[in-house]
């Protein structure tokens, strides 16, 4: 009975967007409404504004961007809300894609002035393929913006979402008066600088009433026309269609001014799905099952610089996770106990005794976990859908300070476990090569090595094009391949064979020469 009650209380979702759309600011305001923080932070920290809770890494605070998924939980209206704030920058998309495997729904943030941007399209495509329920929040309505109808059309065209506005803006920029909340049938008046009060929310079922004019001064006729058009095009809101991923509610607001956020949150807790079944290679795991199961979707090295600890982020899929209870690590076929499992508020952690489906648990890790690993009470399960990309940017990494070689080796080892940047060791000379999806990842790696491990490195250019993991069911052919292509051979962190191609022609011609060798663009770990 308790298991079912706890499942029904949970809402686990990710916030995704293109960089600078206001995703992290929205996260802060949701935490503020949930009572998890007392004052919202600014994305770029300075002497006046405190930094955001979700951007807890020093480089995030300095650059004003998110480079790692952060997890935050809070209570709201007797529900346990778990927010995963994801990186928006395309160089860290892999972290976001993995995070999407651990959530049950998504809020997409769109900049009202810029409309739908490239990274948003890619992320929503992943959600669509999984039929993940999506809510859209159109942000920055207090600035000059695109026409709301044009925004709606662009979202439908570019994101291929069938949208349904549940709030509608009254003006924009300097003439922004607020929104009409179609979900709750009320008028919410805009007060700049986040000074929202109960008096600003006016119940208004009848928009034909002449009283509308005295609240929004000259914008009443336009609002009536807009709402009539919306209600003529869209049927009444269908919660089941939303849960099936067939329609996406749309809200308008200004996160930085704390406007429209409460309406979004109140609707979210009313309609968002509770924990959903999780697919494995063997079967589908239902959250209501009594036996515990969960999977690791993220590893963060060095969360506490004073203790050099690693945290594995585990999504609970079924049953009840208990502190100090032994669980099977499926890949290692080994029983593990955890005496200090934690819940999160970004980098702030508190020890928990129990966790239920939908919860994200932090497990202190001494090197046992890889991304995608499974914990169960004995059943051998392998959760699906956790992507891993072949890097496209390569650099030799050299120690810039001979006195800090141990620090560099430790830093590389721990940061590689996060799965964002990959490390390859050349077979012939033992040189280290780092591979990344984008240049910003290499910047972040260099910064973190210096500031978290006291190690300095320098990069040297390479002529590499692609990393391919190789396998063959003919061991003799594999051995011949290794010898013939020794100059291009390397091993990854786990000792797997990797072929480092120097060009597309090199890769294609090598595949033709060695038909018995399989080339893989994702690592099987």
3-state SS, one letter per residue, for 462-511? CCCCEEEEEECCCHHHHHHHHHHCHHHEEECCCCCEEEEECCHHHHHHHH
Q: Which of 232, 256, 271 is the last residue of a domain?
A: 271
Please indicate, yes or no, if residue 289 is contained in any of the structural domains: yes
Establish if 361 belongs to a structural domain. yes
The pLDDT value recorded for residue 249 is 96
Same domain, 308 and 240: no
- The verdict on 52 and 197 lying in the same domain is yes
| The pLDDT of residue 46 | 39
Return the biggest CA–CA distance within the chain.
86
pLDDT digits (tens, 9 = 90+) for 250-278: 999 999 888 989 889 999 999 999 999 99
What pLDDT is recorded for position 199? 56
Per-residue pLDDT tens digits for 117-134: 887 888 888 888 888 999
Q: What is the CATH number of the domain that holds 25?
A: 3.40.50.300
Q: Is residue 143 part of a domain?
A: yes
- The pLDDT, as a whole number, for residue 66 is 42
Q: For 196, which DSSP code? A: -
In whole angstroms, give the CA distance from residue 164 to residue 233.
9
pLDDT value for 348: 60
Task: Give the pLDDT of residue 152.
Answer: 95
Residue 167 located in a structural domain? yes
- Do 355 and 371 belong together in one domain? yes
Number of structural domains found in the chain: 3
Final residue before a domain boundary, out of 376, 410, 434? 376
Q: Are strands 248-252 and 163-165 parallel, antiparallel or unpaired?
A: parallel
Instruction: Tell me the C-alpha to C-alpha distance, in Å, between residue 461 and each of 331, 352, 394, 429, 458.
Output: 36, 46, 7, 16, 10
Q: Looking at the structure, do residues 45 and 167 belong to the same domain, yes or no?
A: yes
Q: Report the CATH number that the domain containing residue 416 is assigned in CATH.
A: 3.30.70.3280
Provide the token pair at 32.
């503020």
Each residue's pLDDT tens digit, 417-449: 776 688 999 999 999 999 887 777 788 888 888
Q: Where are the alpha helices (DSSP H) in 160-285?
A: 211-216, 220-233, 239-243, 261-271
Q: Is the domain of 447 the same as that of 340?
A: no
Residue 381 lies in a domain: no
Contacts of 245 (CB under 8 A, 6+ apart): 127, 128, 130, 131, 132, 133, 134
pTM, rounded to two decimals:
0.78
- Are 46 and 130 found together in one domain? yes
What's residue 500's pLDDT?
94
**Is 383 inside any structural domain?**
no
Same domain? For 303 and 179 the reply is no
Element housing 122 (H / E):
helix 118-129
Q: Do 155 and 35 fall within a single domain?
A: yes
Domain boundary (245, 271, 297) is at: 271
What pLDDT does residue 336 have? 96
| CA–CA gap between residue 153 and residue 343 (Å, rounded) | 40
Across the 525 residues of the chain, what is the mean pLDDT of every consecutive 10-residue run?
92 88 86 62 40 45 50 88 72 70 94 89 84 95 93 95 94 91 89 62 83 85 93 90 95 91 92 95 95 91 63 94 96 94 70 93 88 94 76 89 88 76 90 84 84 88 91 93 94 90 94 93 60
Tell me: do 187 and 286 sit in the same domain. no
Residues in the chain: 525
Residue 382 lies in a domain: no
Q: What local confidence, expressed as pLDDT, does residue 275 receive?
A: 97
CA dihedral sign of residues 203, 209, 214, 218: positive
Same domain, 132 and 181: yes
Q: Is the domain of 213 the same as that of 287?
A: no
**Any domain includes 103:** yes
Same domain, 60 and 171: yes
Beta bridge partners of 355: 321
Q: Which domain holds residue 42?
A: 2-271
């Amino acid at each position: 009975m308790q298991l079912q009650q706890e499942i029904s209380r949970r809402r686990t979702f990710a916030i995704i967007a293109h960089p600078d759309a206001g995703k992290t600011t929205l996260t802060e305001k949701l935490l503020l409404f949930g009572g998890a923080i007392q004052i919202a932070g600014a994305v770029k920290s300075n002497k006046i504004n405190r930094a955001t809770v979700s951007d807890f890494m020093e480089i995030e605070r300095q650059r004003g961007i998110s480079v790692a998924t952060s997890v935050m939980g809070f209570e709201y209206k007797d529900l346990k809300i778990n927010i995963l704030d994801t990186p928006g920058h395309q160089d860290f998309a892999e972290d976001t894609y993995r995070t999407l495997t651990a959530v049950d729904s998504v809020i997409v943030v769109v900049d009202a002035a810029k409309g739908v941007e490239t990274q948003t399209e890619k992320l929503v495509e992943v959600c669509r393929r999984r039929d993940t329920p999506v809510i859209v929040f159109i942000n920055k309505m207090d600035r000059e913006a695109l026409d709301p109808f044009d925004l709606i059309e662009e979202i439908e065209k570019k994101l291929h979402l069938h949208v349904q506005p549940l709030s509608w803006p009254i003006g924009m920029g300097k003439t922004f008066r607020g929104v009409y909340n179609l979900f709750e049938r009320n008028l919410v008046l805009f007060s700049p600088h986040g000074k929202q009060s109960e008096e600003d929310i006016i119940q208004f079922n009848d928009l034909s009433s002449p009283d509308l004019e005295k609240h929004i001064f000259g914008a009443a006729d336009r609002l009536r026309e807009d709402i009539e058009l919306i209600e003529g095009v869209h049927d009444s809101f269908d919660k089941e269609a939303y849960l099936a991923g067939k329609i996406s509610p749309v809200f308008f607001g200004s996160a930085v001014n704390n406007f429209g956020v409460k309406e979004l949150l109140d609707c979210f807790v009313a309609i968002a799905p509770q924990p959903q079944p999780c697919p494995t290679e063997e079967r589908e795991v239902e959250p209501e099952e009594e036996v515990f199961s969960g999977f690791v979707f993220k590893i963060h090295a060095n969360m506490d610089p004073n203790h050099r600890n690693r945290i594995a982020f585990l999504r609970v899929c079924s049953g009840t996770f208990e502190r100090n209870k032994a669980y099977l690590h499926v890949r290692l076929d080994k029983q593990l106990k955890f005496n200090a499992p934690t819940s999160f508020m970004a980098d702030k952690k508190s020890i928990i005794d129990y966790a239920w489906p939908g919860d994200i648990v932090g497990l202190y890790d001494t090197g046992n976990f890889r991304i995608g690993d499974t914990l169960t009470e004995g059943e051998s399960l392998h959760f699906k859908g956790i992507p891993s990309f072949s890097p496209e940017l390569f650099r030799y990494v050299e120690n810039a300070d001979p006195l800090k070689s141990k620090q560099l080796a430790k830093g590389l080892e721990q940061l590689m476990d996060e799965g964002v940047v990959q490390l390859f060791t050349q077979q012939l000379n033992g040189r280290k090569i780092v591979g990344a999806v984008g240049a910003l990842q290499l910047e972040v790696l260099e910064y973190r090595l210096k500031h978290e491990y006291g190690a300095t490195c320098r990069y040297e250019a390479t002529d590499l094009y692609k990393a391919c993991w190789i396998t063959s069911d003919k061991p003799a052919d594999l051995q011949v391949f290794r010898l013939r292509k020794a100059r291009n051979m390397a091993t990854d962190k786990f000792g797997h064979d990797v072929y480092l191609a120097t060009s597309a022609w090199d890769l294609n011609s090598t595949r033709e020469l060695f038909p018995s060798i399989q080339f893989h663009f994702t690592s099987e770990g």
